[in-house]
Amino acid sequence: MTPRAVEAVVRGRVQGVFYRASLRREAEARGLAGWVRNRPEGTVEFRVEGDADAVAALLVWAERGPPHAEVAGLRVSEVEPDPAARGFAIRR
């Protein structure tokens, strides 16, 4: 397993459409750790880490989002993996 960690901001109609809960479900299904939260300006921000292939697959999903989302853009930044990261949380 090659580890990879990213932080991302998703723009578009991504709040009020179950984006956070759906992203958590997708991340957990891929065995990834991290968190997701709404930001005040209407975007969604998340950090995810784990196997590089699983992270890449989640980023492909994040560009579409759940059925009612309308993703206008995804800005991704590579970050250092945290060896202690466990689980996936929805932050408020």
Choosing from 4, 20, 30, 47, which is the catalytic residue?
A: 20
Interior angle at CA 18, CA 16 and CA 22, nearest 5? 160
Residue 91, in any domain of the structure? no
Asked if 20 is an active-site residue, the reply is yes
Q: d(Cα 60, Cα 54) in Å, to the nearest integer?
A: 10
Domain with 61, as residue range(s), is 3-79
Choosing from 11, 13, 37, 38, which is the catalytic residue?
A: 38
Residue 24, in any domain of the structure? yes
The predicted pLDDT at position 92 comes to 86
**Which spans in 1-92 are helix H?**
19-29, 52-64
The predicted pLDDT at position 7 comes to 98
Residue 84 burial class via C-beta count within 10 angstroms: exposed 0-12, middle 13-18, buried 19 and up:
exposed
The verdict on pTM exceeding 0.85 is: yes
* Block mean pLDDT (10 aa), the chain, length 92: 95 98 98 98 98 98 97 98 94 90
The predicted pLDDT at position 81 comes to 93
The predicted pLDDT at position 28 comes to 98
State the CATH number of the domain containing residue 37: 3.30.70.100
